[in-house]
Structure 1
Amino acid sequence: AIGIGTLIIFIAMVLVAAVAAAVLINTSGFLQQKAMATGKESTEQVASGLQVIRVLGNHSGGKINWLAVLISPNAGSAPIDLSQATVMITDGTHKVIAKYNSTFFNGTLKNGGSIFEAKYNNTTALKPLFDDLPATAFGIVVLQDADTSCSKDTPVINKGDIVAICLNVSNTLNLKPRTKVTGAVIPEFGAPAVISFTTPATYLDTQHIIELQ
């Protein structure tokens, strides 16, 4: 009788140990997979991002009405989908938040053409991109894209690509001389491209396109 009782206790201990081992193995496997996924996402978040190459402005009437923010992926960055990006920019009084509008896409700017003369297609004819660009949307003008990854419906940029984020701020921001402007192009993941400049002390009638940053 004592032997049978001991055997039952032994079997029960073995079963409990087996169940505990199975739980530990499953938990450790789950944590390993979770850690790997988190590490990959963290690396992507840290290594990826956008950088501002240059900011150009087009002025008339004593203030800047149109902005072109030239951006490119950071070194080692994963491909970035600009359709998921957000542009935020402020003059200290008003703030603009813009999302991508696929209507205002130009992927054919070549031979030294002006960004501010870029056109987009509609059902009738080619029209100037900036003329119809809403204040709450940004357009894209492709400047460099060897693998044609940046298209109208999927504006994805990767290594070596350069595009211009186009903004019509004529009715939203008051970019008179000596105005401090800050903002960012915020991608879906990764570091944002920082916009920070002060408008010139005066605007020359002989030079409508000026470099701001």
Structure 2
Amino acid sequence: MKVRTRRGAVGIGTLIVFIAMVLVAAVAAAVLINTSGFLQQKASSTGRETTQQVASGIQVERVVGKANGLPTTQYIQQLAIYVTPNAGSSGIDLSNTKIILKNESTEAILKYDPTHAAFTSTVVSDIFNVSLAAWASLAGNTTREFGIIVLQDADGSLTSEHPTLNKGDLAVLTLLVGDLGSDNGVFGAGIGPGEKISGEVVPEFGAPGVIEFVTPSTYTESVMDLQ
């Protein structure tokens, strides 16, 4: 029986082609691995930022105003905004938070500055007491700022250089919106009767707290719930 044998053509050309194919496959694999690793890290970072942005935010619990000198003066001069973090929110640094407030003719942007707008962390019987640091430090300032009164802060995060609003914390942001004798307020003399006010408490990240109310048609009480 005759056995036929076939010999493959093996030479230097075939070897070069084989090595070239191996090199191309290695380069392609390296590119794919690097690209997938970069995309994975980018997606993870974007996911964390998106979760933080969506889950975090500040909530305006209520807004209270005070008109001083009734019945002669029909203007609200002091505004107290009660804020707390949204459920599941990360810590909110109030030193990087802005308050936007506007009426029909004026829009003001207020910031927190610890050198001027100090906070009050003791229990207070009168939230609008102008001798409190959160109010007294605002009087006479040419820049628009807000103060902080700490009402609830178990971990002391609100009494640091960067006051941070954490889960369970409750604070009052104090604004001088009218003239108390030593400061021309955000809205000049103040907020008059039947005036519409809108705005936001805007944190560094996350959803802002909404401010929107219309003042009573006449002021019969000094302290009034507005929102």
Counterpart code for 1:94: T
| Residue 85 (structure 2) aligns with | 73
In 1, Cα distance between equivalents of 2:66 and 2:214 = 14
Counterpart residue number, 2:182:
none
**Bigger strand fraction:** 1
Moved over 6 A (4+): none
1:2: Cα distance to partner?
5.9
2:32 corresponds to which of 20, 24, 28: 24
Q: What does residue 6 of structure 2 align with?
A: none
Which runs of structure 2 are paired with 1:30-45 in the superposition (5 Å)? Answer: 30-45=38-53
Deviations 1:138-172 (A, max 9, x none): 11111110111012511101000011111111133
TM-score, normalised with respect to structure 2: 0.85
The runs of 5 or more residues in structure 2 that have no matched partner are: 1-8, 179-184
Aligned length: 205
1:54 aligns with 2:70: no
- SS of the residue 1:131 aligns to: coil
Provide the C-alpha distance between the structure 2 equivalents of 1:167 and 1:152, rounded to a whole number of angstroms: 20
Does residue 1:140 correspond to 2:152, yes or no? Answer: no
Change (3 A) 1:86 1:181: same
Q: Does 1:107 align with 2:123?
A: no
Q: Distance in 2 between matches of 1:35 and 1:152?
A: 34
- Give 1:136 shift: 1.0
Of 161-170 and 131-140, more deviation after overlay is shown by: 131-140
Counterpart pick for 1:189 among 195, 205, 211: 205
- Whether the 8 Å CA contact 2:138–2:145 is kept in 1: the answer is no
Unpaired stretches in structure 1, ≥5 consecutive residues = 122-126
Deviations 1:47-82 (A, max 9, x none): 000000110111131111111100000000000101
Q: How does 1:148-159 map to 2 (within 5 A)?
A: 148-159=156-167
- Matched residue type, 2:222: H
Higher Cα radius of gyration: 2
Residue in structure 2 matched with residue 124 of structure 1 by the alignment: none
Match of 1:166 among 153, 161, 174: 174
Q: Percent of aligned pairs with the same residue?
A: 49
Cα gap change, 1:91/1:84 in structure 2, threshold over 3 Å: closer, same or farther? same
1:137 alignment partner, SS class: coil
Give the C-alpha shift of residue 131 in structure 1.
3.3
